[in-house]
Amino acid sequence: MELRFGHFNPKLLKELFVFSSFIFMNLVVNQVNWNVDRYIIGWFRGTVEVAVYSVAAQLNTYYLSFSTAISSVYIPRVNQMVAAKCSKKELTALFTRIGRLQFLVLALVACLLIFFGKAFISLWAGRDYAGAYGMALLLMLPVTIPLIQNLGIEIQRAMNLHKFRSWVYLFIALGNVLISIPLVRAYGGLGAALGTAFALFLGNIVIMNLYYHKKIGLNIFFFGKQISVILPGLILPVLCGYLILRFVDLMDIPRFIVFALLFVFIYILSVWFFSLNAYEKELVLKPLKRVSERFRKR
């Protein structure tokens, strides 16, 4: 590649600057939004409450990473499709297909948190941090819908329509601060998590889905319908999780591991028979077939 430092294109440089500025703005606001609660809690409630909230925030960070690990793989594909001027129907199909995969993973993690999270936090961080369980639920469950729509962020950027999201996130952060201050004073760390959950619900789920549907051209009703098809496969795991939570003492580490693995096994079987479509089953079977063929050759 030959670099030339002359004959700059001012128009192109301006477009690059504006494009990058809004991405940078979104990254900064995102960091502020996820970290401001700690400062508010520390100001009004002290360091002990901050430590408890930090456990919930750390679990939430792991939760966020599960989703981005899937959607980030498809960034080149999205840019290629937008550059080739693919139809909105094709973009919706990809958006929905990846969203379903993300939901299958996040639903498992969310169920594990709901049924095993309290025991896990007590075993991992200590009984003094058991209060982080409710905070983690408030932080993680409302953000599930935005997380399974992560590919939409890349579609916005590829179409150069990401500015609106950056402004929405700025107002989410401001709203989070304004809502969290009185809630923290009344309920401590739980109030901070509740304020963040409300701000994220209003901005990410309500406003951004309207934007996806009206401006970006993604069929959110089709997306929601395809996600709802997965739900029957969650009935059996949820029932088993409730029975485990109701009748099993999970404060013993070996017992906790056994029942957590049992729950994962039940979840996999249930979604395989009641939730997965042909494409998703093929994603699982194809690598297994390759492995079996290699063993046969040996």
**Structure-block tokens of residue 159:** 């179409």
Position 11 scores a pLDDT of 85
For the stretch 82-128, pLDDT in tens is: 999 899 999 999 999 999 999 999 999 999 999 999 999 999 988 88
Among 206-210, 231-235, 283-287, the least confident range: 283-287
For the stretch 127-163, pLDDT in tens is: 889 889 999 999 899 899 999 999 999 999 999 898 9
Does residue 233 surpass a pLDDT of 90? yes
**Structure-block tokens of residue 223:** 């997306």
C-alpha 258/C-alpha 249 separation (Å) is 12
Domain boundaries, the chain: 15-230
Among 89-93, 266-270, 294-298, the least confident range: 294-298
Of 103, 61, 138, 134, give the one whose Cα is nearest residue 275: 103
Q: Structure pTM? A: 0.89
Position 91 scores a pLDDT of 94
Position 68 scores a pLDDT of 81
Average pLDDT for 162-188: 89
- Identify the residue whose tokens are 């002359």: 6
Does residue 5 surpass a pLDDT of 90? no
- Identify the residue whose tokens are 């100001």: 43
* DSSP codes, 89-153: HHHHHHHHHHHHHHHHHHHHHHHHHHHHHHHHHHHHT-GGGTTHHHHHHHHHSTTHHHHTTHHHH
Express as a percent the part of the chain with pLDDT over 70: 99
Of 63, 64, 57, 41, give the one whose Cα is nearest residue 177: 41
For the stretch 22-62, pLDDT in tens is: 889 888 888 888 888 888 998 888 888 899 999 999 999 88
C-alpha 29/C-alpha 76 separation (Å) is 25
Position 135 scores a pLDDT of 92
C-alpha 64/C-alpha 110 separation (Å) is 11
Express as a percent the part of the chain with pLDDT over 90: 49
Give 144's Cβ-side CA count (13 Å radius): 19
Position 17 scores a pLDDT of 87
C-alpha 140/C-alpha 170 separation (Å) is 20
- Identify the residue whose tokens are 């430092």: 5
Does residue 169 surpass a pLDDT of 90? no
C-alpha 54/C-alpha 92 separation (Å) is 37
Position 46 scores a pLDDT of 85
